[in-house]
A and B are shown apart, each in its own frame.
Chain A
Amino acid sequence: MNPNSAPNPAMGHNNVPKMTARDVNVFYGQKQAIRNVSIDVTSDNVTAFIGPSGCGKSTFLRCLNRMNDTVDGARVEGRIELDAQDIYAPAMDVVQLRARVGMVFQKPNPFPKSIYENVAYGPRIHGLAQAKADMDNIVESALRRAGLWEEVKDRLGESGTAMSGGQQQRLCIARAIAVDPEVILMDEPCSALDPIATARIEELIDELRGRYAIVIVTHNMQQAARVSQKTAFFHLGTLVEYDDTSAIFTNPRETRTKDYITGRYG
């Protein structure tokens, strides 16, 4: 398959892609970071972006909720759509886009506020809860879905930064879930965590699958194999191969993919 052409719609389990990217190029000043990437992300799958350091997988991920807007000199060309709406169109409100396409970062970054406030912040700024009881419900259900409720229900007033790294990262996931997004982008969410916390996050990703379209960038190929149904392999700013995860890991079409997953480089 040529990764630069439109992916075969029959390949996914869900025929309607949640997000589509066509011929995306990203520049940082003069330097081109992403070349002609086209990809579809579907709702019922976890999609993993893998590739060696500096291959552009995180850069591309950050185009999907326009986080690159905050980087000086970053320029995005091509077309990225969410539910067939161009997210780079002038009519698109970037604040709402980021509420619909949530993000979890590499390093857990809870606000230095209470656990409750961390989760309630998003719903509050978007006006999703009218009464205190509504907000309590949103916070509880987000924490439950993030698998954190049982651990923190008695100490919601404690600081979010006082928890362990794994708990902090699940709090960040709860914070993203609380605004009821359609897509969740995860940028190497486990790279700062120990193996036990990592396993907990991976379980969580599996539980969230189907409810949200999840895109995860990872360095760890085993992780991609464990949590994702679709895998995209990036190399030097291009999308080399995009297929079912099982196909990528057992029968890659491209030699570069094969070399990477067998550990020849990266």
Chain B
Amino acid sequence: MTALQPSRLLSERLPTDWESPAMRARIAARYRAERNFRRLGAAALVIAASFLAFLLFTIVRDGWSGFLRSEARVVVTFTPATLGLDPAAVAGPQGKVLLARADYLALMNEAALTLGPASGTLSDAAWLELRERLVADPALLGKTVPVWVPVRSTIDLLAKGKFDLAAPADSRGVSDREVAAWRWLEREGRLRTNFNMAFLRNADSTEPELAGIGGAALGSLLTLVITIGVAFPLGVFSAVWLEEFAPKGRLADIIELSINNLAAVPSIIFGLLGLAFFLNFAGMPRSAPLVGGITLALMIMPVIVIAARVAIKAVPPSIRDAALGIGASPIQVVFQHVLPLALPGIMTGTIIGVARALGETAPLLLIGMRAFVTDVPQGFTSPATVLPMQVFLWSDDVQRGFVEKTSAAILVLLVILIAMNSLAIYLRNRFERRW
């Protein structure tokens, strides 16, 4: 037996020597360990931050020019004959309609010829600018004015310096004729860079200079409206029932386990479910925000349930006691006391869930939202795509002009995500109660 009686042990022990070399070494080792741990922590943070900085840097570097477009100055004579317009009729009651329907493409082709070697550089949709000008100001009919119109993507990229002109002609991705046309435009001072409103307004297009994220953004918005509308009430009421009314026992445990597992199910599985149930069984329209929204709602509902349960649990029991103690019914306790106090937490969880839904692509692939949609969606059942899907589609496109569009779309998506998360943090700080 090596164990001694504690009293004997203490009485026989020598006084501790706090100054001994061994003790000093131990203290030095403790300080060293602490210093090393701090350095490790700082290093981890630096590495994480540099990854993030690298990501942001590359996206911003590639993407900022996506918000700009090059425009060429063309001198246009709004000749009524070319437009197929009768000036007398334009002055009449049907004037607006006639102006909107005129043959601007012919006018554009005519005007493009004045550009000489650069006559083929204008965008296919350049005539839209002419229509806009004339509809806004019918007095221009018959007059000659300079108009700035968008150029083709290749010229746009040349102007932005995206091509390596020193490379051999067959590998640089741009023809000598295009380079010459661009040089001519630059020399004549007919080229300028302007903010690209079309990028924010338009839907997808095969031409990079015409493609925009407006359609995808609206598609995302419509989808999220459905997602919130379905997931929020379902999630909150599930949480309320589980926390306040469910009999504690085996069934409640099984439900809780299932919900936690559901939160971890890969999102593609929800897409398969949406495909099998909503499209094939329920016959809902393909590619529609309605179906996408419900599918994403299924995906984020467990997140909302978990967040709401935590928030409900955090309401102190003393508040429930207080309300019950003066004769509030259980429903009154929940709706007049518990839910209002838990709401900031529930909102935070919901916004984080919705932010996840906003960035989700996998389940939407399967229900047909990987669609080339050139129109801004008109409603919950019309074909649409969403922002991350648009990023995916463009990143897949062979045309060089879509590179900057991809990064620009990512920037828009990131800005929206940051805004949503900031809102979640703001709500939490603003309304959270401490007890």
Is A125 at the interface (CB under 8 A from chain B)?
Answer: yes
Chain A CB within 10 Å, residue with most, of B320, B324, B329:
B324
Q: Which residues of A96-130 are within 8 A (CB) of B?
A: 96-99, 102-105, 107, 109-112, 121-122, 125-126
9-residue interface stretch from A20-28, A171-179, A220-228:
A171-179
Report the interface size for chain B: residues with CB under 8 A from the other chain: 19
Residues of B270-322 at the interface with A, using a CB-CB cut-off of 8 Å, are 316, 318-322
Chain A residues whose CB sits within 8 angstroms of the CB of B336 once the complex forms: 121, 125
Q: A72-B248, A112-B433 in contact; A99/B322 too (CB < 8 A)? A: no
Residue of A with least CB distance to B328: A125
Closest-CB distance, B256 to chain A (whole angstroms): 15
Q: Tell me if A175 and B323 are in contact (CB < 8 A).
A: no
- CB-CB under 8 A from B168, the residues of chain A are none
How far does the Cβ of A235 sit from chain B's closest Cβ, in whole Å?
Answer: 26
Q: Does A67 interact with chain B (Cβ within 8 Å)?
A: yes
Question: Which residues of B239-268 have CB atoms within 8 Å of chain A's CB atoms?
Answer: 248
Q: Do residues A125 and B327 form an inter-chain contact, with CB atoms below 8 A?
A: yes
Q: Give the CA-CA distance A60 to B352 in the complex, in Å.
A: 45
Instruction: Judge whether A95 is part of the interface by a CB distance below 8 angstroms.
Output: yes
Q: Is the CB of A109 within 8 A of B326?
A: no
Identify which of residues 157-207 in chain A touch chain B, using a CB-to-CB cut-off of 8 Å. Answer: 172, 175-176, 178-179
Note all chain B residues with C-beta closer than 8 A to A172. Answer: 322
Residues of B with C-beta under 8 A to A103:
321, 325-326
**Which residues of A are found within 8 Å of B329, using beta-carbon distances?**
95, 125
A104 vs B318: C-alpha distance when bound (angstroms): 11
The answer to whether B337 and A111 touch across the interface, beta carbons within 8 angstroms, is yes
- Residues of chain A with a CB closer than 8 A to B327's CB: 95-99, 122, 125-126, 179
Please give, as numbers and ranges, the residues of chain A lying within 8 Å of B433 by CB-CB distance: 112
The complex places the Cα of A112 from the Cα of B326 at a distance, in Å, of: 16
Contacts of B323 in A (CB 8 A): 111, 121
Contact B325 A176 (CB under 8 A): yes
B326 & A176 in contact (Cβ 8 Å cutoff): yes
Would you call B318 and A109 a contact (CB within 8 A)? Answer: yes
Among A72, A111, A125, A126, which residue has its beta carbon within 8 angstroms of that of B322? Answer: A111
| Cβ–Cβ < 8 Å partners of B337 in chain A | 111
- How would residues 123 to 140 of chain A score, 1 for a CB under 8 Å from any chain B CB and 0 otherwise? 001100000000000000
* Least distance between B331 CB and chain A CB atoms (Å): 10
| B332 located at the interface, meaning its Cβ lies under 8 Å from any Cβ of chain A in the complex | yes
- Measured CB to CB, the closest approach of chain B to A21, in angstroms, equals 19
Query: Does residue A65 face the partner (Cβ distance < 8 Å to B)?
Result: yes
- Cα distance A95–B318 in the bound complex, in angstroms: 17
Instruction: Determine the chain A residues whose CB is within 8 A of the CB of B325 once the complex forms.
Output: 65, 67, 98, 102-105, 176
B333: min CB distance to chain A, Å? 10
Q: Which residues of B contact A112 (CB under 8 A)?
A: 319, 341, 433
Please give, as numbers and ranges, the residues of chain B lying within 8 Å of A67 by CB-CB distance. Answer: 321, 324-325
Interface residues of A in 59-114 (CB under 8 A from B): 65, 67, 70, 72, 95-99, 102-105, 107, 109-112
What's the minimum C-beta distance from A42 to chain B, rounded to whole angstroms?
Answer: 22
* Residues from chain B with Cβ under 8 Å of A102 in the complex: 325-326
Q: When A111-B337, A112-B341, A125-B332 are in contact, do A70 and B320 touch as well, CB less than 8 Å?
A: yes
Task: Give chain B residues whose Cβ lies under 8 Å from the Cβ of A109.
Answer: 316, 318-319, 321-322
- CB of B248 within 8 A of CB of A105, answer no
Known contacts being A72-B248, A111-B337, A125-B332, is A179 close to B322, with CB within 8 Å?
no
In the complex, the answer to whether B324 meets A99 with C-beta atoms within 8 Å is no
Proximity bits, B327-369, A CB within 8 Å = 1, else 0: 1110010001100010000000000000000000000000000
**How long is the Cα–Cα vector from A176 to B322 in the complex, in angstroms?**
9
Flag if A111 contacts B328 (CB, 8 Å): no
Contact residue among B320, B322, B332, B341 (Cβ-Cβ distance under 8 Å from A110): B322
Task: Name the distance in Å between B330's Cβ and chain A's nearest Cβ.
Answer: 9
Across the interface, which residues of A come within 8 angstroms of B332, CB to CB? Answer: 125
Question: Which B residues are within 8 Å of any A CB, using their own CB?
Answer: 248, 316, 318-329, 332, 336-337, 341, 433
Q: A110-B322, A112-B433 given; name 10 further pairs at CB < 8 Å.
A: A67-B325, A98-B325, A99-B326, A105-B318, A107-B318, A109-B321, A112-B319, A112-B341, A125-B329, A178-B326
Closest 5 A/B residue pairs (Cβ): A99-B327, A109-B318, A103-B325, A122-B326, A98-B327
- Some 9 contacts from A to B, beta carbons below 8 A apart, are A67-B325, A96-B327, A98-B327, A105-B318, A109-B319, A121-B323, A125-B336, A175-B326, A178-B326
